[in-house]
Amino acid sequence: MLAYEFLSATPAVRNLIRESKTHMILSQMQMGGSHGMITMDACLADLHLRRAISFDMALSRSNDAKEFQRLVETGGSGSMAAGAAPAPAAQDDFMPGRGQAARGAELPSGRAGRGT
């Protein structure tokens, strides 16, 4: 089972990077569901709620245990709950050499979805 996080290079995200405010990217991911963005914790919560993985497995892979538990208690992110796939990336959002990793594909190093 693949768990992933997806960050789309929206103007807001690009601006955060340009202004060296990368610590704020997580909040953009949490609010960016309409762009197909999803955090690892939200993906894990959705997989658990769909009974694809156990709570303990998801919790062991989460980045923030409290956030993961909150998402499970409130029904997940909603973006994957109905089995919907993330929104396709716009052509200008594709970054050669990193596009596949951002979409959760298997990386050459064997790690999936987190980049290198």
pLDDT digits (tens, 9 = 90+) for 16-69: 999 999 999 999 999 988 899 999 999 999 999 999 999 999 999 999 999 999
pLDDT computed for residue 78 by the predictor: 58
- Collapsed DSSP state (helix, strand, coil) of residue 6: strand
pLDDT computed for residue 79 by the predictor: 55
Token pair 């156990």 is found at 54
- Collapsed DSSP state (helix, strand, coil) of residue 41: helix
Give the pLDDT confidence of 71-109 residue by residue, as tens digits.
999 987 755 544 444 433 333 333 333 333 343 433 334
Q: 13 with 36: CB under 8 angstroms?
A: no
Burial of 100: CB neighbours in 10 Å, binned 0-12, 13-18, 19+: middle
What is d(CA 105, CA 22) in angstroms, rounded to the nearest whole number?
A: 23
What is d(CA 4, CA 114) in angstroms, rounded to the nearest whole number?
A: 7
What is d(CA 76, CA 95) in angstroms, rounded to the nearest whole number?
A: 29
Is pTM, for the whole model, over 0.95?
Answer: no
